[in-house]
Amino acid sequence: MIDLYTFTTPNGRKASIMLEEVELPYTVHKIDITKGDQFTPEFVAINPNSKIPAIADREAGITIFESGAILIYLAEKTGKLMPTEPKKRYQVLEWLMFQMAGVGPMFGQLNHFKKFAPEKIPYAIARYEKETLRLYSVLDQQLASHEFICEDYSIVDIATFPWVATYDFQGLTLDNHPHLKRWFEAIQARPAVIRGMAVPA
């Protein structure tokens, strides 16, 4: 049994989508980051960085934080959604790092400065919107010749989807990136993705 510590954020939804896709039983522990639950001693013992998501694998006696590490762990535990052949494996890892280092931070900064910052700073909004659209173009180009971001559906698609799903919240559109839009709509329709995006209830 997996204990999932999460909240309704793109990073949190990566873990719940993955658990749904690999069909592992899990228990949800809602960590309400708007109320400071992430700073409780109990949660800090699981993740010293006080961020969601985190998991505890009771069977293995392992706790893991950082969404990318969680995806790799669950893929290796189940033998699903990550290739073992070296060339394909490293393609998945490089695109996962692309998401972790680029898509997540840049989209997240755009969300912050557009929606949550107490002061609207035009420079910051323009900077992060420009970078978000650039990353849309990188993904669109990759998806022009791939059904999924890599050759097969993988942890990369799971990692990237919840962040792209914020496009409407950001006041953006996918219409100028048709391959990205096609991919988004296909991933959005997957039953495991639908279930994972609804966690926590």
Q: Report the top-level CATH class of 2-81.
A: alpha beta
* pLDDT value of residue 92: 98
| Long-range pairs of 84-92 with CB within 8 A, sequence gap ≥ 24 | 88/150, 88/151, 91/150, 91/151, 92/150, 92/154, 92/155, 92/156
Mean model confidence pLDDT for the chain: 97
CATH code for 86-190? Answer: 1.20.1050.10
Question: Tens of pLDDT along 57-76?
Answer: 999 999 999 999 999 999 99
Above pLDDT 70, what percent of the chain?
A: 100
Average pLDDT on 67-95 reads: 98
Question: Tens of pLDDT along 107-155?
Answer: 999 999 999 999 999 999 999 999 999 999 999 999 999 999 999 999 9
At 199, is the secondary structure helix, strand, or coil?
coil
Average pLDDT on 42-63 reads: 97
Is this model's pTM higher than 0.85 or not? yes
Q: What separation in angstroms does the CA of 2 have from each of 18, 29, 61?
A: 12, 11, 10
Above pLDDT 90, what percent of the chain?
A: 99
Written as one string, the DSSP assignment of 47-97 is -TT--S-EEEETTTTEEEESHHHHHHHHHHHHT-SS--SHHHHHHHHHHHH
* pLDDT value of residue 78: 98
Q: Which residues pair with 57 in a beta bridge?
A: 2, 62
How far is residue 168's CA from residue 182's CA, in Å, rounded to a whole number?
16
- The domain ranges of the chain are 2-81, 86-190
* pLDDT value of residue 44: 97
Among 117, 105, 114, smallest CA distance to 51 is for: 105
* pLDDT value of residue 144: 98
Name the residue with higher pLDDT: 157 or 201: 157
How far is residue 54's CA from residue 51's CA, in Å, rounded to a whole number?
8
* pLDDT value of residue 31: 98
- Radius of gyration (C-alpha) of the chain in whole angstroms: 17
* pLDDT value of residue 48: 97
Residues ≥6 apart with Cβ < 8 Å to 195: 16, 20
Q: How many CA atoms lie within 13 A of 121 on its CB side?
A: 13
Residues ≥6 apart with Cβ < 8 Å to 113: 120, 121, 124, 125, 128
